[in-house]
Amino acid sequence: MYSALAFGLLAAAKVASADQQPIVGTPKGDVHQLGKGTFDDFVKTNDLVLAEFYAPWCGHCKALAPEYEEAATTLKEKDIKLAKVDCTEEQDLCQTYGVEGYPTLKIFRGVDNITPYSGQRKADAITSFMIKQSLPAVSLLSADTIEDFKTADKVVLVAYVDPSDKSANETYTATAEQLRDSYLFGATNDATLAEAEGVTAPAIVLYKQFDEGKSTFTDKFDKDAILAFVKTASTPLIGEVGPETYSGYMSAGIPLAYIFAETPEERTELGEALKPVAEKFRGKVNFATIDAKSFGAHAGNLNLPTDKFPSFAIQETVKNQKFPFDSEKELTADAISSFVEDFSAGKIEPSLKSEPIPETQEGAVTVVVGKSYEDIVLDDTKDVLIEFYAPWCGHCKALAPKYEDLASLYANSEFKDKVVIAKVDATANDVPDEIQGFPTIKLYAAGAKSEPVDYSGPRTVDDLIKFVKENGKYQAEVAEKTEEETPVAPAATEAAGEDHDEL
Ligand SMILES: *[C@@H]1O[C@H](CO)[C@@H](O)[C@H](O)[C@H]1NC(C)=O
């Protein structure tokens, strides 16, 4: 099978200049089935590839299959290739590309430029999304087109560059490639347009339909500097947390201050009142209102009451710490300002939701709670395997007896003081980890507490032992007494909590 595919690729190289399409992968459809031996070459020889990572048993994958085929056929004419990888056959390949759930769709421009597919899983949507991807990331603008372009979206960027300034052009284009799914990018080398805008090339103007209307970047063109500029300038001074914006705020790398209120009027009013403090902390703390009628449950995640609004909390998004503003106190602009000042000065302790620390440990698995997390999980002398679970999660229940067996094996071995098998109910306890699905299993190895290793293999006692052995400081191996277990489907997880579904 591999040799046939490899041959197909060799043939592809030979006939590259001819019109004829070489056949690589499944001969029946237009989706290319790829594996370890073929994937990288395929991605390198095709400029734009959409790849689906799937498992044969996954329902969403089955639903996607005919849509994906149809899109592949339509896109064939445009020379955009659709590929698929069966992760039950190609575990290494799927791990290399960070596949955590099925199906995962990623856009490849070579093996180094990979972006997630963020469109819908329908043939039409896939087709139009990928056609847009195939167009240049930067539109060249002229006096005739620039005005319309400035208002073509909520946020657009225009670079004013000198025709001879190749480096500015390249840096800007590379940035645009990276952010092309989020914003429209245009550029012009017409000096009169720069003059009309009142800027000197090279400069970037970000036009936005909110706040001050535009922001200008005049520093040296450097990709990281431009990325940082775009992030700050495109974020409204007082934004709104909702399903479309939540993940952006969580990945922004700075804390998010939530203003919960039930009516639009109240949100506007509070937003206005907090503008000066938001302005003061711009680029350091994001501020956003949130509809407490629709997303009131999220207040609970910030350790605020879920039935008392308006309210306010800051979330430290990197360490995932919560700083709720005392809900008994009156919510005034002054009180919030000093709260944010104190937070920023490190004067406020994060609030920690925790079950009581158990007086005795009943089973072999060590029960961790919010208050004991640091003492147990971050104990630098021990390899700690920790499972983050939810009481309602079926996969967690299925794992429980095996996990108990695993813990017993270690507890009755020479490694009983070196390896801890632990679990924490992540719905009832605050943990520093951002948990996306249940169960999540991580190893905090002794001496390497800042670099926990995620477990994504099959959930069998045997595989977990291997994992602890390979990644732990003590290379602790225990022998499993039981018969070989039937293999379990790899790492299916359940979404973490109601609020994450909504937001
Ligand atoms: C940037 O460079 C590309 C490729 O050389 C060129 O087509 C484009 O016109 C340049 N853009 C500007 C604004 O000069």
* Average pLDDT for runs of 10 along the chain of length 503: 32 33 54 95 95 94 95 93 96 92 94 88 89 89 95 92 96 93 92 96 96 95 95 92 87 94 95 94 95 94 94 93 94 94 96 94 95 96 97 94 96 95 94 88 96 93 96 91 52 55 46
Q: What CATH class does 135-233 carry?
A: alpha beta
Q: Which segments of 54-108 does DSSP mark as H helices, in order?
A: 59-76, 91-96
CB 114 within 8 A of CB 181: no
What is the predicted pLDDT for the residue at 494? 66
What is the predicted pLDDT for the residue at 465? 96
CB 114 within 8 A of CB 106: yes
Q: Is 169 helix (H, G, I), strand (E, B) or coil?
A: helix
Ligand 1 atom with the smallest distance to the CA of 187 is 13
Catalytic-role residue among 61, 226, 420, 435: 61
Domains 4-132 and 238-344 share a fold: yes
Catalytic-role residue among 94, 205, 393, 421: 393
What is the whole-number distance in angstroms between the Cα of residue 17 and the centre of ligand 1?
26
Ligand 1 atom with the smallest distance to the CA of 163 is 14
What is the whole-number distance in angstroms between the Cα of residue 334 and the centre of ligand 1?
50
Q: Ligand 1: which residues within 6 Å by Cβ? A: 140, 161, 163, 169, 187-189
Q: Which CATH superfamily is domain 238-344 in?
A: Glutaredoxin (3.40.30.10)
Written in H, E and C, the secondary structure of 256-308 is EEEEEECCHHHHHHHHHHHHHHHHHCCCCCEEEEEEHHHHCHHHHHCCCCCCC
Does the annotation count 61 as an active-site position? yes
Written in H, E and C, the secondary structure of 99-143 is CCCCCEEEEEECCCEEEECCCCCCHHHHHHHHHHHHCCCEEECCC
Assess whether the previous peptide bond of 310 is cis (omega < 30° from 0). yes
Ligand 1 atom with the smallest distance to the CA of 169 is 1
Amino acid symbol at 107:
I
13, burial (CB in 10 Å: exposed 0-12, middle 13-18, buried 19+): exposed
Does the annotation count 87 as an active-site position? no
Q: Is 487 helix (H, G, I), strand (E, B) or coil?
A: coil
What is the predicted pLDDT for the residue at 28? 60
Q: What CATH class does 4-132 carry?
A: alpha beta
What is the predicted pLDDT for the residue at 309? 95
Instruction: Give the closest residue (by CA) to ligand 1 atom 7.
Output: 140
Catalytic-role residue among 58, 114, 199, 348: 58
Neighbour tally for 439: CB within 10 Å = 25
Q: Strand 321-324 and strand 311-316: pairing?
A: antiparallel
What is the whole-number distance in angstroms between the Cα of residue 169 and the centre of ligand 1?
6
For the chain, which residues make up each domain, given as ranges? Answer: 4-132, 135-233, 238-344, 366-471
Instruction: Give the closest residue (by CA) to ligand 1 atom 3.
Output: 169
The answer for residues whose C-beta is within 8 angstroms of residue 214's C-beta and 6 or more apart is 205, 206, 207, 208
Instruction: Compute the distance between CA of residue 217 and CA of residue 63 in angstroms, rounded to an integer.
Output: 45
What is the predicted pLDDT for the residue at 181? 80
Q: Which of the following CATH numbers is that of domain 366-471: 3.40.1110.10, 3.30.300.30, 3.90.1580.10, 3.40.30.10?
A: 3.40.30.10
